Amino acid sequence: MTDHVDIGGDARWTLVTGASSGIGLEIARAFARLGRPLVLSARRGERLEALAAELPVPVAVVPADLAVPGAAEGLVAAIEARGITLHTLVNNAGFGLRGRFGALPARDQAEMVAVNVTAPTILSRLVLPGLVARRDGGILNVASTVAYLPGPNMAAYYASKAYLLSLSEALYEEARPYGVVVTAVCPGATATEFSERADVGGTKRFTGNVMKPAAVARAAVAGHLAGRAVVIPGAANRAAVLGARLMPRWLSRKVAARLQG
């Protein structure tokens, strides 16, 4: 771990996973503008170091590959060993895979579930009791508008985001009496490296309304600070989610398949 400024104590430290690019990077910048000291984590440490150098706040860099068993526990242990008490946890790390469930490699799908589901679950479990005890702070989980749909051709990815949305809303109710806010942000198609890794750049979902990550980050942080349980950035995305919730399930399956085809 690299520490760019050594402070601890009562500082309102914010941990951002997947902070090396895209929405995570922009969320880190958004919290930095609020003066929050940051713990930045991702697989690519060199990118985290570059981001840390530009931020006007204390920064600790803790590289971690959350697909590896025990990585989430190790990340929290490394932060605690440095004397940092977390005020806010941002579970942003995640990736997608496109293809038929029975054709995609099982190991790749297991790693995706580890990053998208297991890691945020463990991190939330390890961080939340301290927030509740101090009656302050919160958790911001980056889900997706696809959490509201079944996902033929991206079945496990859609399911992972549905899990994260459900977990977030449940924890919102559990934590709210203690002054702790748990928020799920559900962006739609966003111009990040996700589309290239997931091989969805040419699909219908990524050829229409595509938001910039900075706009998603601003909406996410503002909604979280306002105490909202769910944030859906962009009017078009909110309309799409409303349509998905009103649509019969048999039809939503077909629509999602066409979007990912």
Residues recognised as catalytic: 157
74, two tokens: 């190790």
Dihedral pair phi/psi, residue 36, rounded to 5°: -80, 130
Q: Taking the CA atoms of the chain, what radius of gyration do you get in angstroms?
A: 18
| C-alpha to C-alpha distance for 38 and 135, rounded to whole angstroms | 20
Nearest to 114 by CA among 91, 134, 130, 137: 91
Nearest to 76 by CA among 151, 128, 132: 128
Contact 84, 13 (CB under 8 A): yes
The CB density around residue 106, as the number of other CB atoms within 10 Å, is: 9
